[in-house]
Amino acid sequence: MRPEPAAIDRAVALLQAGELVAFPTETVYGLGADAANPAAVGRIFAAKGRPADHPLIVHLAGAGCLDRWARDIPGRAWELAEAFWPGPLTLILKRTPAVPTAVTGGQDSVGLRVPAHPLALDLLRAYAEAGGGVAGMCGVAAPSANRFGRISPTEATHVREELGDSVPLVLDGGRCPVGIESTILDLTRDAALPPRLLRPGRVTPEQIAAVIGVLPETVTRSSAEAPPRVAGSLAAHYAPSTPLRLVAPTRLGEVIDILRATARRCAVLHYGSLPASVGTPHASRRLPADPRGYARALYAALRELDQTAAELIVVEELPATPAWAAVADRLQRAAAGAGMQAAPSGFPRWAAVAATDPATTR
């Protein structure tokens, strides 16, 4: 799905005027503004309700714009850009003095990527050809086009439902083909140290290592050296309004039966077959049993289940394998952010704490 050229022209004009434009990327829909215009960037934060110290990812038309935004660019960055751009990989690099602190959350680093969606590239290239905004920087800041902490949008209708009239234009490019946010890799460390994986995504650590010859170091909460703050790294994020719990496949039927027996409305998100003996839940969605298919459908499914008036969304826990790491990360953060006050009465304690202690469900 590609809009008429007039829609791209209007989007470019809005960006140059400091206004907001939502557009699809291959990962999720982004809420875009001229990244070199602090007032325009401020409109992103206002529309999303996003804290001002949370950095934004800047989207570029190509790697040729990289040195306008980053300094001391390591050779690894150029190798990764050659291999994965356009694509779902964000590189964290040291920023140039021209980069507004509004974009970086006050940090000395900036997140940059070139999206692979054809409509996003059409927009970014047209924007660059029209002068590229303030100081000709040619960058569009674009976090996910939703309220802060909520489920990311993967369809244009999701953007309109979340943000309404606060966005003058939403470019409709259909459903996003990847469906979860980009991999984020920190390249600001000394070259003798491995880069740090700050957020998992479609581009895997193994794919990165195949290009640069070094396996990224996965950042944990106990990491001694504090990494840069980046988008989507909070423990609670990507969350529905309805409480959400992760439950091991072996206990899924038991949980559904307990909830039905206590007259609780339960929505179920699963990839395996539900046991034949289990009664019908209030609502359910079955997603593909492969990581890529699951990721593409995940956020739309969570939105649907969040609108069913269920009291709890029960999600079948994913396999603990590298292939599932990125989508598992999103679900763990969604569980941490979704109505965590208390599970419904009658819901067993071992399942109520499943989001933070999955071992209790096994």
Residues 11 and 85 in one domain: yes
Q: Which pLDDT value is given to residue 1?
A: 63
Q: Which pLDDT value is given to residue 339?
A: 61
Residues 31 and 157 in one domain: yes
Residue 110 lies in a domain: yes
Q: What is the DSSP letter of 135?
A: G
Q: Up-side HSE of residue 25: CA atoms within 13 Å toward CB?
A: 33
Residues 252 and 306 in one domain: yes
Average pLDDT over residues 136-143: 97
Q: Which pLDDT value is given to residue 213?
A: 97
Q: Which pLDDT value is given to residue 279?
A: 75
Q: Which pLDDT value is given to residue 251?
A: 93
Residue 342 lies in a domain: yes
Could you list the residue range(s) of the whole structural domain that residue 121 is in?
5-218
**Range of lowest pLDDT (1-5, 239-243, 307-311, 319-323):** 1-5
**Residue 91: enclosing H or E segment and its boundaries?**
strand 89-94
pLDDT, averaged across the chain: 90
Residue 344 lies in a domain: yes
Check if the beta carbon of residue 181 is closer than 8 Å to that of residue 152.
Answer: yes
Residues 306 and 271 in one domain: yes
Residue 223 lies in a domain: no
Residue 225 lies in a domain: no
Residues 50 and 177 in one domain: yes
Average pLDDT over residues 318-329: 96
Residues 262 and 191 in one domain: no
Residues 319 and 269 in one domain: yes
Residues 196 and 267 in one domain: no
Q: Which pLDDT value is given to residue 283?
A: 92
Q: What is the pLDDT of residues 257-303, one digit of tens each?
A: 899 888 889 999 999 998 877 878 899 999 999 999 999 999 999 99
Q: pTM of the predicted model, to two decimals?
A: 0.91
Confidence of residue 352 (pLDDT cuts 50, 70, 90): very low
Residues 33 and 111 in one domain: yes
Q: Which pLDDT value is given to residue 232?
A: 66
Residues 42 and 123 in one domain: yes
**Which residues are bridge partners to 21 per DSSP?**
32, 169
Q: Which pLDDT value is given to residue 224?
A: 53
**Range of lowest pLDDT (130-144, 173-187, 223-237):** 223-237
Residue 320 lies in a domain: yes
Q: What is the pLDDT of residues 188-199, one digit of tens each?
A: 999 899 999 999
Residue 237 lies in a domain: no
Query: Cα separations (Å) of 257 from 147, 155, 254, 319, 360?
Result: 34, 33, 5, 23, 18
Query: What CATH number is associated with residue 284?
Result: 3.40.50.11030
Residues 146 and 188 in one domain: yes
Question: Which amino acid would we find at residue 345?
Answer: S
User: What would the two tokens of residue 335 be?
Assistant: 């569980």
Number of domains in the chain: 2
